[in-house]
Structure 1
Amino acid sequence: MQVIVNAATSVDGKLSTRRREQVAISGPADFDRVDALRADSDAVMVGVGTVLADDPSLTVDDPERIDARTGRGDPPQPARVIVDSRLRTPTDATVYDDAAETVFLVSEAATDEAVADARTRDAVVISAGDDRVDLSAALDRLETHGIEQLMVEGGGELVFSLFDAGLVDELSVFVGSMVIGGRDAPTLADGDGFVETFPDLRLGDVERIDDGVLLRYTVV
């Protein structure tokens, strides 16, 4: 499986404000790039924190890209994968609509009632790990589910956990021309942080988009 992390950050590396409210960091050209990356992926993954904060749809917007997917035999939309250890996603969340298949990665901490309720809403539930989702095992299960390219859109806790588990292959970061600040504002990679060893990145490409810059890295 190819795991591609994509994010937009401020110059100081923040994903949003300390209130964890959605901020328009990039512009139309980058939105279109993200839409194309979604269209090229088998699934789009976020953590439950992103669902609770932004209620995203995680779907492709461009009709021509949707037609291209169906033309090559893929579903019209990539699957939506939510990492949600205890299945806290609200039942009225947009990811429960019928626009695309929704897959929840949960741990044994998710109640039987929550799992049953998600399945009655036609969601796929994959359990891996005791108290938290075992991402390595969960992604192995996703691969058997037919997911070969996985796009990850955040948030910071999930991104850190994927790097910590050595699961990231590529990283694309749009850096917008703004400073957000705040010691409690979420960053590209939150979690416990690295201290002695760090992910080994190789800068592959730099591109100016909108009023910002796109950095593309491969992970060694």
Structure 2
Amino acid sequence: MHVHVNAAMSVDGKLSSRRREQIKISGDDDFARVDEIRADADAVLVGVGTVLADDPHLTLDDSALVSARASRGETDHPARVVADSRARTPTDARTLDDEATTYVLVSETAPEARRADLEASGAEVVVAGEERVSFLAALEALEAHGIEQLMVEGGGEVIFSLFSDGLVDELSLYVGSMVIGGRDAPTLADGEGFVADFPRLSLRDVERIDDGVLLTYDC
């Protein structure tokens, strides 16, 4: 599986403010670029924190991209994946509508009743890991469902876990011309943080988009 992490952050490395509310960091040109990455993916992954904070739909905005997928014999939109160890995804979340298939990754500690509620709301629940979602096991399960190209849109806890497990193949990072600040504001890679064996990336490309810079790395 090819795992492509895409994110937008401020010049001080923040994905959002300390309130964890959605902030427009990039502009229209970058939004179009992100939509194209989604269109090329088999599935788009976010963490449950992103679902709770933003209630994203994770579908394509450009109808031309939808048509292009259909012409290739693919579903109109890529599948959606939510990493949700304790099955906290609301049953009325936009990711659970019938626009695309949605997989919710949970751990063995997720309450059975919550798993059943999610399945009744249209999700395909995938159990991977004991107390927290094991991305090694989860990605193997997703591959069994035919997902070969996975786009990851955050948040910081998910991205850190994927880097920690050595699962990231590519990183596209838009750096917007703004400062957010805040010691409690989410960053690109939160989690416990590395103290040794820091993941090293190879810078492939630098491009100016909108009023910011897009950095592309091989991982």
TM normalised by structure 1 equals 0.98
- Matched residue of 1:192: which SS? coil
Matched AA of 2:75: P
Which secondary structure state, in structure 2, belongs to the residue aligned with residue 86 of structure 1? coil
CA distance in 1, matches of 2:121, 2:154: 24
Q: What amino acid is aligned across from residue 82 of structure 1 in structure 2?
A: V
Alignment partner of 1:105 is 2:70: no
1:47-99 Cα deviation digits (max 9, x unpaired): 00000010000111111100110111111000000000011011111111111
Q: Does 1:26 align with 2:26?
A: yes
Find the aligned partners of 2:22 and 2:157 in 1 and give their Cα distance: 16
Aligned residue number for residue 173 of structure 1: 173
Q: What is the SS of the residue equivalent to 2:31? A: helix
Distance, in Å, in 2 between the alignment partners of 1:203 and 1:23 is 26
Secondary structure of the residue aligned to 2:161 is: helix
Counterpart residue number, 2:9: 9
Instruction: Indicate the percent of aligned positions where both proteins have the same amino acid.
Output: 67
Cα distance in 1, alignment partners of residues 83 and 23 from structure 2:
22
Q: Structure 2 CA distance, aligned partners of 1:138 and 1:185? A: 27
Q: For residues 106 and 7 of structure 1, what CA distance do their matches in structure 2 show? A: 23
Report Cα offsets for 1:149-172 as digits up to 9, x if no partner: 000000000000000000000000
Post-superposition shift, 1:112?
1.1
CA distance in 2, matches of 1:159, 1:103: 18
Alpha-carbon distance between aligned partners in 1 of 2:196 and 2:113, rounded to the nearest angstrom: 42
- Using the size of structure 2 for normalisation, the TM-score is 0.99
Match of 2:40 in 1: 40
Secondary structure in structure 1 of the residue aligned to 2:163: helix
Cα displacement (A) at 1:122:
2.0
CA distance in 1, matches of 2:144, 2:30: 31
Letter in 1 for 2:63: P
Structure 2 CA distance for aligned equivalents of residues 209 and 77 of structure 1 = 25
1:1-220 equivalences under 5 Å are 1-219=1-219
Distance 1:89 1:120 in 2: 13
Mapped to 2, the partners of 1:152 and 1:27 lie a distance apart of 19
Q: How many residues align?
A: 219
Supply the RMSD in Å over aligned alpha carbons. Answer: 0.6
Q: Distance in 1 between matches of 2:92 and 2:119?
A: 14
**Cα deviations by residue, 1:108-167 (Å, 9 ceiling, x for unpaired):** 011111111111122111001111001101100000101000000000000000000000
Q: What is the alpha-carbon distance in structure 2 between the residues aligned to residue 190 and residue 148 of structure 1?
A: 26
Distance 1:206 1:121 in 2: 42
Distance in 1, matches of 2:141 and 2:92, equals 26
Any gaps of 5 or more consecutive residues in structure 1? none
Secondary structure of the 1:44 match is strand
